[in-house]
Amino acid sequence: MKCYDAIVVGLGGMGSATIANLAARNARVLGIEQFTPAHSRGSSHGQSRIIRQSYFEHPNYVPLLIRAYELWRNLELETGLDLMTLTGGLMIGPPDCQTVQGSLASAVQHSLPHELLTAAQIRDRFPAFNPPLGTVGLYETNAGYLRPELCIQAHLSQATKSNAELHFGERVIDWQPSSSGKTAIVRTEHNTYETPSLVLSPGAWAPSLFRFELPLVVVRQVLFWIKPTSGTANFLPGRFPVYIWETLDGTQFYGFPQHGPESDGIKVAVFYNEEPCDPNRLSLTISPTLERQIRECLTTRIPSLTGAIVKTVPCMYTNTPDHHFILGKHPVYPSVTIASPCSGHGFKFCSVVGEILADLAMDGHTQHSIEMFSPVRESLQ
Ligand SMILES: Cc1cc2nc3c(=O)[nH]c(=O)nc-3n(C[C@H](O)[C@H](O)[C@H](O)COP(=O)(O)OP(=O)(O)OC[C@H]3O[C@@H](n4cnc5c(N)ncnc54)[C@H](O)[C@@H]3O)c2cc1C
């Protein structure tokens, strides 16, 4: 049986960053992925992911975000790839909503540069938006988007350069502790491997691989690309930021400026849709209800974004009840580290999560503050 210093299962957003980090520390590492590099059957595809700092989810994320930005920029320098584009970001909604108030709390607590805009100012600066009277927006210049497929490829190429062994098209069937309890034995369709340090970053497949009861719910989320009916120039970066818009009933929808060919349209989606799914049977069908929901979000708020739907792409979130991540040592098997940094907002953190998981795998601890993501926290009981 072949033995490695560390094995990473799942080379998507998080696993690719982790294996790059581990390999850079001169560890003898193996990465195992059931599909191809940067595939579109998990959670890390669809051309773009929002990255932002005034984080409405909780101010504790901000220090991790600052480090994530630094690491993304380092990765760009090392690979020469264009991974992150800052377009500015607008968190918009009624004045007392979580999207605005939560962003403001993070911005104030961490002294992040930001502006508060009224509905008229938003309309003036970003003419495609038509916010109802009373709406406000927190604008930050440090927001934008990442190119997820390219980010994964960049991390994988860094890992290969540092001599990591990467196996694609190889599914892990199961793993178990060895009889001594000091190592884990990983069984795939093709082979069996042993390691004193196993990292599980299997995305939507986490419930079947963690060997630990967690209240995770895997849901399907659909991305839409829609044609503007007029004013296409108003959707270009500079006139159109990335945004998350909360409506009066608490629905959040979000989108991006045009970042592909004009014929592709503009990307938009609803943040949280509870449509539980089986990751092995991800449906491509778009129900009329989903289409109606996104149309309802856009009709009055971005009135020129009401043309034909050019493309739809399904993707998966792995949600925890409190929508915070799971990152830490396995509560039963100390040789195993588990990671489910998703709940629909994890991609921007991949670079720093890679660093954290490599710390946990090699040293058993990290300097980053991750208590909030404990696999045994109260909200998961
Ligand atoms: C529609 C959508 C929009 C999003 N928007 C944003 C956004 O704007 N900003 C943001 O920050 N985040 C966003 N997210 C969330 C973010 O993309 C995820 O948090 C992140 O991609 C999760 O990465 P992961 O590595 O956990 O999962 P994945 O990238 O899916 O990686 C898991 C990998 O494990 C592999 N695997 C699983 N089981 C096995 C096995 N048994 N054997 C071998 N390999 C296995 C899978 O094939 C997969 O490649 C969005 C997600 C979706 C779906």
Q: Report pLDDT digits (tens) over 184-235.
A: 999 999 999 999 999 999 999 999 999 999 999 999 999 999 999 999 999 9
Residue-by-residue pLDDT tens, the chain, 381 positions = 999 999 999 999 999 999 999 999 999 999 999 999 999 999 999 999 999 999 999 999 999 999 999 999 999 999 999 999 999 999 999 999 999 999 999 999 999 999 999 999 999 999 999 999 999 999 999 999 999 999 999 999 999 999 999 999 999 999 999 999 999 999 999 999 999 999 999 999 999 999 999 999 999 999 999 999 999 999 999 999 999 999 999 999 999 999 999 999 999 999 998 789 999 999 999 999 999 999 999 999 999 999 999 999 999 999 999 999 999 999 999 999 999 999 999 999 999 999 999 999 999 999 999 999 999 999 999
CA 340 to ligand 1: nearest atom? 26
What residue has token string 């629905």?
Answer: 251
CA of 327 to the centre of ligand 1 (A): 14
Question: Which residue among 11, 277, 342 is best mutated to probe the pocket of ligand 1, counting the most ligand atoms within 8 A of its Cβ?
Answer: 342
CA of 212 to the centre of ligand 1 (A): 20
Using alpha carbons, list the distances in angstroms from residue 226 to 61, 204, 286, 288, 304.
32, 27, 14, 15, 10
* Ligand 1 pocket residues where CB is under 6 Å: 9-15, 32-35, 42-44, 46, 49-50, 171-172, 201-205, 209, 221, 223, 269, 315-317, 341-342, 344-348
Percent of the chain with pLDDT over 70: 100
Rounded CA separation 214/217 (Å)? 9
Using alpha carbons, list the distances in angstroms from residue 230 to 18, 266, 307, 317.
44, 12, 9, 33
Rounded CA separation 248/166 (Å)? 47
CA 339 to ligand 1: nearest atom? 26
Query: If DSSP codes are grouped into helix, strand and coil, which group holds residue 69?
Result: helix
CA of 314 to the centre of ligand 1 (A): 12
Q: List, for residues 230-247, the tens digit of each pLDDT value.
A: 999 999 999 999 999 999
CA of 216 to the centre of ligand 1 (A): 14
DSSP, residue by residue, 190-245: S-EEEES-EEE--GGGHHHHS-S----EEEEEEEEEE--SS-GGGGSTTTS-EEEE
Q: Are 143 and 240 in contact (CB under 8 A)?
A: no
Atom 23, ligand 1: residue with shortest CA distance:
13
CA of 221 to the centre of ligand 1 (A): 12
DSSP 8-state symbol, 83:
-
Q: What is the pTM of this model?
A: 0.98
DSSP 8-state symbol, 43:
S
Rounded CA separation 172/318 (Å)? 19
